[in-house]
Chains A and B, each alone.
Chain A
């Protein structure tokens, strides 16, 4: 990997990551501060939740009372905020190679001694670093918010949830990088990646609502992104994390092979 290319990737990702990090931390911290209030008014919340349509509950992965730490953090942060933030960051960072091709910059960079694999590797490392930074911002804000009120969550479990959150982000970033390299068109690559994610989200919701379609949830990345057991019981979703990492790594491997072989047409 070329350190110059990596520095540039990190540098031009700075603004995006800072703003996404601020939004993530602000929202996660803000929501966490209200957890004590939710626990104190658990019965009232229970009554309110009874009024919600079950479709809405399924859409946000709310399976029980909000006083349950796993349900609270899942419903408000992990299943709602994180997929949006991780997908946004992954798609923007992973399609940058296509944007460089659109702007003609790829021709300049790749007519210097830098090898194609080095160039793309810089982008891949930036994706990992960026998604990890955002996960740390999210989890850090939860722990800070938890400290501000009174400790309710298991610190180690919350910290470990960052790992699974990163793994989810990688599973989005890897295949999106491959799409960007194959299409060399940022709009199309980002559109397809976002479309597939929305489809997966719907499959997960439909599977949760209709038992006949439950099997469809296996096709959804969101099915494997549940942190409830980790937050409540300290059980880390090892297999799910491995699946995410394998999907991400496979996407990058395919992207590297395709980028090495493909024509870079004008």
Chain B
């Protein structure tokens, strides 16, 4: 599997202030990699380091096998970037800025035209007169134009209305289908759930988890409500990943973490009248990582049970 981005012990500190610490990860070619974390966790520092805007304090990162700091211009030939608050030159119209950035990226003039129509962008208005959302559209078009091999997106849908967010996700899906690689930092968790193959979660500057969305969800408590034909025998649910949280005659509530098959095998031997299995919301899962305590996860599980 070809790795497009690789970080090895990537550390960035700002004097005594923490940025990121020993961050290791790899993004495979053709995948959409979600990068999540609360504000101040180190997402933007990681992205700016990958872009060669910040020099790593220690460790290193490569993009397409090139060192992101030492060979930044060569890295940039193959990537495109969009920040949460895309910069602009107030003196220029959207069309002028897009043409300017296109030339810097060695793309033909008006490369952006089709995307501009798709995102209903008025290219004739000076950018300083555009609303926040419309400025973001300029940034989105700027990032997507020219079919880059790697997109690094930092909260790209901030300010976009729901229709444009949907359009954004469609373009993202098209890129993924075309085999492009995307590194997506976002607070929009449904967006991450729908589009990302894997996610990395960063907290207090350290990468705490990398996994697929499915694995991430599976690793958390599921809530199982059962209605049985008759009370189960003692020890029926004695499984390492199952916890009986309440039992009232034939009504039961269980919590199961990880693989549900052992539990389903036990249930197949019982007279089950009704069963409901609730998967935790992705927001809850991420919140538990953000808050970083097992207790929070368990409280959440209890909340789901109620």
The answer to whether A104 and B100 have CB atoms under 8 Å apart is no
Inter-subunit contact B106/A113 (CB<8 Å): yes
| A105/B74 in contact, CB under 8 A | no
Contact between chains at B86 and A263 (CB < 8 Å) = no
Which one of B87-95, B163-171, B262-270 is at the A interface?
A: B87-95
Write the nearest CB–CB distance from B88 to chain A, whole angstroms: 6
Contacting chain A: which of B49-57, B192-200, B279-287?
Answer: B49-57
Q: CA A101 – CA B73 in complex, angstroms?
A: 18
The residue on A at minimum CB distance from B57 is A263
Could you give, for residues 69-112 of chain B, a 1 whenever the CB lies within 8 Å of some chain A CB and a 0 otherwise?
00011101101110101111111100000001101111000000
Contact of B28 with A by CB under 8 A:
no
Of B79, B85, B104, the residue contacting A4 (CB under 8 A) is B104
Chain A contacts with B in 122-163, Cβ cutoff 8 A: none
B62 near A: Cβ within 8 Å?
no
Whether B103 pairs with A4 at a CB distance below 8 angstroms is yes
With A104-B86, A108-B142, A113-B76 given, is the CB distance from A12 to B91 under 8 Å?
A: yes
Q: Are B86 and A261 in contact (CB under 8 A)?
A: no
Q: Which residues of B contact A104 (CB under 8 A)?
A: 83, 85-88
Q: CA–CA, A209 to B149, complex, Å?
A: 67
Q: Is the CB of B76 within 8 A of A103?
A: no
| Contact status B51-A109, CB under 8 Å | no
With a cutoff of 8 Å between Cβ atoms, the chain A residues found around residue B81 in the complex are 107-108, 111
Judge whether A263 and B105 touch: CB under 8 Å. no
Task: Count chain B residues whose beta carbon lies closer than 8 angstroms to a beta carbon of A.
Answer: 33
**Contact with A103, one of B53, B55, B87, B142 (Cβ below 8 angstroms):** B87
The reply to whether B14 and A105 form a contact with Cβ atoms under 8 Å apart is no
Q: Is B44 an interface residue (CB 8 A)?
A: yes
By the criterion of a CB under 8 Å from any partner CB, how many residues of chain A are at the interface?
A: 25
A12 to B89, CA, bound (A): 9
Smallest CB gap from A109: residue in B = B104
Say whether B142 contacts A263, CB under 8 Å.
no
Chain A residue contacts of B180, Cβ below 8 A: none
B92 to chain A: which residues have CB within 8 Å?
A: 12
Interface residues of A in 88-130 (CB under 8 A from B): 100, 103-116
Given the known interface contacts A265-B54, A266-B44, the answer about A106 and B77 at a Cβ–Cβ threshold of 8 Å is no
Known: A12-B91, A113-B73, A113-B74. A107 touches B83 (CB 8 A): yes
Contact A264 B54 (CB under 8 A): yes
Q: Shortest CB–CB separation between residue B252 and chain A, in angstroms?
A: 51
User: Considering residues B52, B87, B88, B104, which has the most beta carbons from chain A within 10 angstroms of its beta carbon?
Assistant: B104
Q: State in angstroms the CA–CA spacing of A116 and B100 once bound together.
A: 16
What chain B residues lie within 8 Å of A105 (beta carbons)?
87-89
CB pairs A–B below 8 angstroms (6 shown)? A8-B100, A111-B51, A111-B53, A113-B106, A114-B76, A263-B55
14 further A-B contacts with Cβ under 8 Å, apart from A112-B105, A113-B105, A115-B73, are A8-B100, A12-B89, A104-B88, A105-B89, A107-B48, A107-B51, A107-B53, A108-B142, A111-B53, A111-B76, A113-B106, A114-B76, A114-B104, A263-B53
**Which 4 pairs between the two chains have the least Cβ-Cβ distance?**
A104-B87, A105-B87, A112-B104, A111-B81
